[in-house]
Amino acid sequence: MAHRPNSRTVSSVTQFVLVRLGAVLAALALSIGTLLAQQPAPSSDDYVGSDTCGVCHSEQFQQFKKTYMATVLAEKYPLEQQGCEACHEAGRAHAEAESDASDDAARQQAATLIYSFARHSSAENAAKCLVCHRKNENERLFSRSKHLSAGVFCADCHTAHLTATADNPTKPSAPLRALFSIPTPAAERQWLDNRLLRENQPQLCFSCHKDIEALFQLPVRHRVNEGLVRCTDCHNPHGSLSEYELRAGNHDTCMKCHVEKGGPFVYEHAAARVEGCTACHTPHGSINLNLMKRRQQRQLCLECHAPPEAVGIPHPRLGFQAAGECTRCHLDIHGSNYQSDFLR
């Protein structure tokens, strides 16, 4: 006899998942609240400007100047939103202590006088990013994203600057390797062109989603590996109101490319309209033609259209065993403007 899960067990598991998710969201909210809490506002004398930062942090400074954030954080904004200090906070105390430091202990103490992403948790760093990056719906959805609930934060995918130039590829110290990478000229161009991602798609996504990577090795697949389709064409990594972080509903996501299948039709196939394309197709990869879930189309159709009393699965109307695939006759299977049975 098949085991049926006890409703109390299912309820307990659901409660556990919700508690864990709530804890993550609460931690992020607390971090954001802490950052936004009223604190003594630094005066203009507490800021030194990015050029001062570049005296010691020349590699990071040169990389940062090439980013769109360096343009956004231009001098037309208030001091707390300019350059390096927009993220690392007022730097005069740090710069002066670093300049006066005579030994390693003093330099380590000086390093604590400025916000360092290497010394803070991923949740705290994400909250720091969200002080600015919460002005559009795409960014606001991050608070409900599956990435957040799985403990994936901004710096796991993005990096604001790199620690070394291509001419001086010195590896960063161990605590910084999790935050920064070393560019080559080609990698630097890709980094700047691709929203400061640590790595290009799909490799960045595949670093976690190994099961999906395996599907894209199958013979019938969307051309993600070839660069013709990107993961983010269908998914929103920052969160979505849709299942699987889709940019739109199941049907609408697919129709961005497969327009001819979307209708509207006078006679619609209920499976496509109600359940969506994945009722029949697997979106990432398959061994079957047209990304079908079953090798034989007839087998797939009969999962819905076989009468329960049928023996040998005869045609439900003709009374005999129909040969071949259903689409030999039911050609317009996605929908038709002429015939309710989608016949040729």
Per-residue pLDDT reduced to its tens digit, 306-342: 765 554 555 656 555 666 788 888 888 898 999 888 8
Confidence band, pLDDT 50/70/90 cuts, at residue 224: very high
Nearest residue to 91 (alpha-carbon basis) of 54, 131, 37, 39: 54
pLDDT value at 190 more than 50: yes
pLDDT confidence of residue 219: 95
pLDDT value at 170 more than 60: no
Per-residue pLDDT reduced to its tens digit, 233-282: 999 999 888 888 998 877 889 989 999 888 889 998 888 888 889 999 99
User: pLDDT higher for 138 or 40?
Assistant: 138
Question: In the predicted model, what is the mean pLDDT of residues 149-166?
Answer: 75
Q: Is 98 within 8 Å of 114 (Cβ atoms)? A: no
**DSSP class of 185:** H
In this structure, the strands spanning 285-286 and 220-221 are antiparallel
pLDDT confidence of residue 214: 96
State the Cα–Cα distance between residues 2 and 158, nearest whole angstrom. 46
Work out the end-to-end distance of the chain between its first and last CA atoms, rounded to an integer number of angstroms.
Answer: 45
State the Cα–Cα distance between residues 26 and 231, nearest whole angstrom. 29
pLDDT confidence of residue 125: 86
Confidence band, pLDDT 50/70/90 cuts, at residue 40: low
Residue 68 burial (C-beta neighbours within 10 Å; 0-12, 13-18, 19+): exposed
Confidence band, pLDDT 50/70/90 cuts, at residue 148: confident
Q: Best-predicted range by mean pLDDT among 58-62, 66-70, 264-268?
A: 264-268
pLDDT confidence of residue 212: 96
pLDDT confidence of residue 123: 83
pLDDT value at 167 more than 80: no
Pinpoint the alpha helices (H) of 91-159: 92-100, 104-111, 122-130, 137-140, 146-149, 154-157
State the Cα–Cα distance between residues 179 and 119, nearest whole angstrom. 11
Indicate the residue type of 54.
Answer: G
27-36, 51-60, 168-177, 283-292: least confidently modelled range: 168-177
Question: In the predicted model, what is the mean pLDDT of residues 19-33?
Answer: 57
SS3 of 158, please?
strand
Instruction: Establish whether the linkage from the previous residue to 185 is cis, with ω within 30° of 0.
Output: no
pLDDT value at 109 more than 70: yes
Instruction: Establish whether the linkage from the previous residue to 314 is cis, with ω within 30° of 0.
Output: no
Q: Best-predicted range by mean pLDDT among 30-44, 124-138, 270-284?
A: 270-284
Structure-token pair, residue 326: 């259903």
